[in-house]
Amino acid sequence: MAMVCLSDFEAYAKKYLPKIAWDYFAAGADDCSTRDENILAYKRIRFRPRMLRDVSVVDIRTKILGFEISFPVGIAPTGFHQLAWPDGEKSTARAARAMDTCYIASTYSTCTLEEISAAAPGGLCWFQLYIHRNRTASQQLVRRAEALGFQGLVLTADLPYTGKRRDDVRNGFRLPPHMKVKNLEGAFEVCKMSLLDPSVTWNDIYWLRSLTRLPIIIKGILTREDAELAVQHGVQGIIVSNHGGRQLDEGPATIDALVEVVEAVRGRVEVYVDGGIRKGSDVLKALALGAKCVFIGRPALWGLAYKGEEGLQDVLRILQDEFRLSMALAG
């Protein structure tokens, strides 16, 4: 079977992953409306292609927070990569470095920050964190990440509680016994989402700021009001995200929310977006609407499920080729 577009990887993953893993990665909250809307919203956006421009050279390199990457597609934070491939996040980090782009490692990784960092030294890596009830644990994670050379901190803002993903409830989803949320092993006896602190507010950004010199990127913003608050509280970047449609169902598609966030931010910080990217032309649409870079979640997992590091590189390379072609054809 030829792997021609991202849907081919999706079909492969659906066929070869254990059902419980596929369901976990695919899950959306409630009726999965927002998960699906993320994709549909891209299709509603139409190009106005221009002709007869010199497109013999198409430069797709860009910078995020000053770091140059080979094209404006990074890897969004998702958990439990060992469910997709034995080497887990180590493969992800290697693929990102090989493709010269940014990888946001999740707190809920099945490899430690140390392992991820060692797997791809010199790669551009950010660390995604939640704020835990146990603030000391969060503080330690931040310091570990900074010490290991991670170059950005991504604070997830949309998960005071976990969304209701019906299939996970039906499956009684939990990690297989041989996998661990290794980053949290020292800090907590049991890994439970309820360790997250639902009382976190904007003021906690100041606390986070006091812990580290790394740039702080906030992930999960969907409205102009919250975008304004994010800027006021001094973040360096915003990822417009609805957690892949896994949190509150029936909110906006991220590409639609991007428009109002970009408008509110007025260039004061960089804005990124994740959710629903399935083609190179989706990347172009996001950039045309003001994103500096996009991040892919599920497609990266499908790539891992296909052939680990190599499969993820395939996914990224396809997106890169499609993005370059879209730019040329759109003029």
List residues with catalytic annotation. 243
| Distances from the Cα of 229 to the Cα of 11, 68, 206, angstroms | 40, 28, 12
Q: How many chain residues interact with a second copy (CB under 8 A)?
A: 59
Determine the Cα–Cα distance for residues 199 and 187; give it in Å rounded to an integer: 20
**Is 325 near a second copy (CB under 8 A)?**
yes
In total, the chain counts a number of residues equal to 331
Kindly write out the interface string for residues 193-212 of this chain, putting x where it contacts a second copy by CB under 8 A and - elsewhere: ----xxxxxx-xx-------
CB of 161 to a second copy, least distance (A): 5
Instruction: Name the DSSP letter for residue 40.
Output: H
**Is 259 near a second copy (CB under 8 A)?**
no
Chain centroid offset of residue 294 CA? 8
CB of 172 to a second copy, least distance (A): 8
Angle at 188 between CA 184 and CA 194, to 5 degrees: 95
Residue 187 or 330 having the CB closest to a second copy? 330
Determine the Cα–Cα distance for residues 158 and 248; give it in Å rounded to an integer: 9
Query: Is the CB of residue 237 less than 8 Å from the CB of residue 261?
Result: no
Residue 222 or 301 having the CB closest to a second copy? 222
Kindly write out the interface string for residues 239-258 of this chain, putting x where it contacts a second copy by CB under 8 A and - elsewhere: ---x----xxxxxx------
Binding residue (CB under 8 A) for a second copy from 132, 182, 279, 307: 279
Q: Is 103 annotated as a binding residue?
A: no
Residue 32 or 179 having the CB closest to a second copy? 32
Beta strands at 102-105 and 237-240: parallel, antiparallel or unpaired: unpaired
Q: Is the four-CA dihedral 100, 116, 151, 266 of positive or negative sign?
A: positive
**Which residues inside 24-63 make contact with a second copy, applying CB under 8 A?**
30-31, 33, 43, 45-56
Kindly provide the b/e burial profile for residues 50-87, where b requires at least 16 CB atoms within 10 angstroms of the residue's own CB: eeeeeeeeeebebebbeeebebbbbbbbbbbbbbbbeb
**Is 191 near a second copy (CB under 8 A)?**
no
Residue 220 or 276 having the CB closest to a second copy? 220
**Is 330 near a second copy (CB under 8 A)?**
yes
For 307, the token pair is 């052939």
Residue 113 or 318 having the CB closest to a second copy? 318
19-26 vs 298-330: helix crossing angle, rounded to 10: 50
CB of 131 to a second copy, least distance (A): 10
For 175, the token pair is 């990690």
**Is 317 near a second copy (CB under 8 A)?**
no
One-character DSSP codes across 82-151: GGT-TTTHHHHHHHHHHTT-EEEE-TT-SS-HHHHHHHSTTSEEEEEE--BSSHHHHHHHHHHHHHHT--
Determine the Cα–Cα distance for residues 326 and 241; give it in Å rounded to an integer: 24
Q: Is 246 annotated as a binding residue?
A: yes
Query: Is the CB of residue 116 less than 8 Å from the CB of residue 89?
Result: yes
CB of 279 to a second copy, least distance (A): 6
**Is 289 near a second copy (CB under 8 A)?**
no
**Is 157 near a second copy (CB under 8 A)?**
yes
**Is 166 near a second copy (CB under 8 A)?**
yes
Can you give the binding site for a second copy, defined by CB under 8 A? 2, 4-5, 30-31, 33, 43, 45-56, 157-158, 160-161, 163-164, 166, 169-170, 197-202, 204-205, 218, 220-223, 225-226, 229, 242, 247-252, 279, 281, 322, 325-326, 328-330
Give binding residues for FMN as ranges. Answer: 77-79, 106, 128, 130, 156, 219, 241, 274-278, 297-298
Give binding residues for glyoxylate as ranges. Answer: 24, 165, 243, 246
